[in-house]
C-alpha cells in the first residue's frame, strides 16, 4: 500500500464502512452522506478561511478595477499599484486558493473509495476494530441504485451547483461602472452560473450514483457553510460600523 492510500484512502474507506455498519438500515447512501459531512467538518478551518478570503477579495474588487482603469496604458505601473493595494489591504490574491489545494488529497481519496465501493476484495483495507459488513445495500432510500449511473442524482447535483454559483455571483461586488472589465466580468459570471451546473449534470450522469450523491451532498454542505461564514462576516462588519 502506497503512502497516499495509507494516509488518505484507507482511513476514509474505514470511516465509510463504519458509518454503513452503525447507521440503522445499512443504507450506503446515508453512509456516504455522513462521510461527506464528517470530511467537511474536518476541513472546516480550511474551508472557512478560504470563504473569508473570497469575501475579502470580492470587497476589494472595485478598488482593483479602479487601478486597472487608471493604469490601463501602463502595465508596469498597474502591477506596482496592485501590489501596493493588496499590501495595504492585507489581502493576498492567492489566499483563497491554498486552502482549496490542501483539500485535493481528500477529494481524490474519496473518489477512489467510492469508485471501488465496499467489496470483498477491499476488506483487507479494514482496520481490526472495523467489521466487514455482511452485505451492502446499494439502493439509497430503496429507489436509487448507487452502484450504477443515476440521471436523477446528476440533475439534483446540477441544481444545487446552480444555487451555489448564483449565490456566489450575487454576493460579488460590482466592478467599476464604465471600466474595461465591466462587460467581461458580467459575461464570465453569467457563463459560470449556467455552465457549471450543466457540466455537473453532464459529468454526473456518467458516474456511479454513489459518487454523484457525494458530489451533491458536498455542494449542499458547502453552500450552507458559505452562507453561515459570509453572513457572520457581514454581521461583524455592521457591528464595527456602528
DSSP letters spanning the chain: --HHIIIIIHHHHHHHHHHHHHSTT-BHHHHHHHHHHHHHHHTHHHHHHHHHHHHHHHHHHHHHHHHHHHTTT-HHHHHHHHHHHHHHHT--TTTTTHHHHHHHHHHHHHHHHHHH-S-GGGGGGS-TTSPPPS--B-EETTTEETTSB-HHHHHHHHHHHHHHHHHHHHHSPPPPTT-THHHHHHHHHHHHHHHHHHHHHHHHTTSBHHHHHHHHHHHHHHHHHHHHHHHHHHHHHHHHH-
pLDDT tens, residue order, the chain (242 aa): 788 888 888 999 999 999 998 998 888 899 999 999 998 888 877 776 676 776 777 777 788 888 888 888 888 888 888 888 888 877 776 665 665 677 778 878 888 888 777 776 677 788 888 888 877 778 888 888 888 888 999 999 999 988 887 776 665 544 444 444 445 555 655 666 778 888 889 988 988 898 899 989 988 988 888 788 767 766 665 665 55
Q: Are 163 and 127 in contact (CB under 8 A)?
A: no
Predicted local distance difference test score (pLDDT) of residue 70: 83
Q: Are 191 and 80 in contact (CB under 8 A)?
A: no
157: closest CA among 192, 205, 116, 194?
205
Separation between Cα atoms, residue 184 and residue 220, nearest integer Å: 29
What does pTM read for this prediction?
0.75
Long-range contacts of 90-96 (CB under 8 A, 24+ apart): 91/53, 91/56, 91/57, 91/60, 92/53, 93/57, 95/49, 95/53, 95/56, 95/57, 96/50, 96/51, 96/53, 96/54, 96/57
| Sole residue written with cell 472589465 | 181
Predicted local distance difference test score (pLDDT) of residue 152: 92
First to last CA, the chain: 57
Separation between Cα atoms, residue 219 and residue 224, nearest integer Å: 9
Give the start-to-end residue ranges of the domains of the chain.
Answer: 3-241
Q: Are 77 and 71 in contact (CB under 8 A)?
A: yes
Predicted local distance difference test score (pLDDT) of residue 82: 84
Predicted local distance difference test score (pLDDT) of residue 182: 47
Predicted local distance difference test score (pLDDT) of residue 177: 47
Lookup: cell for 86: 493588496
Q: Are 198 and 237 in contact (CB under 8 A)?
A: no
| Sole residue written with cell 462587460 | 183
Amino acid at each position: 500500500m502506497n503512502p497516499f492510500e495509507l494516509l488518505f484512502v484507507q482511513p476514509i474507506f474505514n470511516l465509510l464502512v463504519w458509518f454503513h455498519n452503525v447507521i440503522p438500515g445499512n443504507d450506503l447512501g446515508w453512509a456516504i452522506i455522513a462521510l461527506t459531512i464528517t470530511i467537511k467538518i474536518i476541513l472546516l478551518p480550511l474551508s472557512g478561511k478560504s470563504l473569508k478570503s473570497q469575501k475579502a477579495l470580492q470587497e476589494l474588487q472595485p478598488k482593483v478595477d479602479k487601478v486597472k482603469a487608471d493604469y490601463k496604458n501602463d502595465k508596469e505601473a498597474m502591477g506596482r499599484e496592485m501590489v501596493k493595494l493588496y499590501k495595504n489591504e492585507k489581502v493576498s490574491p492567492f489566499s483563497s486558493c491554498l486552502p482549496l489545494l490542501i483539500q485535493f488529497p481528500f477529494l481524490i481519496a474519496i473518489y477512489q473509495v467510492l469508485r471501488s465501493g465496499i467489496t470483498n476484495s477491499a476488506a483487507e483495507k479494514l482496520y481490526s476494530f472495523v467489521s466487514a459488513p455482511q452485505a451492502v445495500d446499494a439502493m439509497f432510500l430503496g429507489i436509487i441504485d448507487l452502484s450504477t449511473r443515476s440521471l436523477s442524482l446528476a440533475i439534483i447535483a446540477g441544481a444545487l451547483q446552480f444555487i451555489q454559483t448564483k449565490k456566489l455571483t450575487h454576493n460579488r461586488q460590482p466592478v467599476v461602472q464604465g471600466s474595461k472589465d465591466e462587460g467581461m466580468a458580467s459575461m464570465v459570471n453569467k457563463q459560470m452560473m449556467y455552465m457549471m451546473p450543466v457540466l455537473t449534470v453532464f459529468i454526473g450522469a456518467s458516474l456511479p450514483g454513489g459518487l454523484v450523491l457525494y458530489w451533491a451532498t458536498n455542494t449542499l454542505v458547502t453552500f450552507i457553510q458559505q452562507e453561515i461564514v459570509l453572513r457572520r462576516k457581514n454581521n461583524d462588519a455592521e457591528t464595527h460600523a456602528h
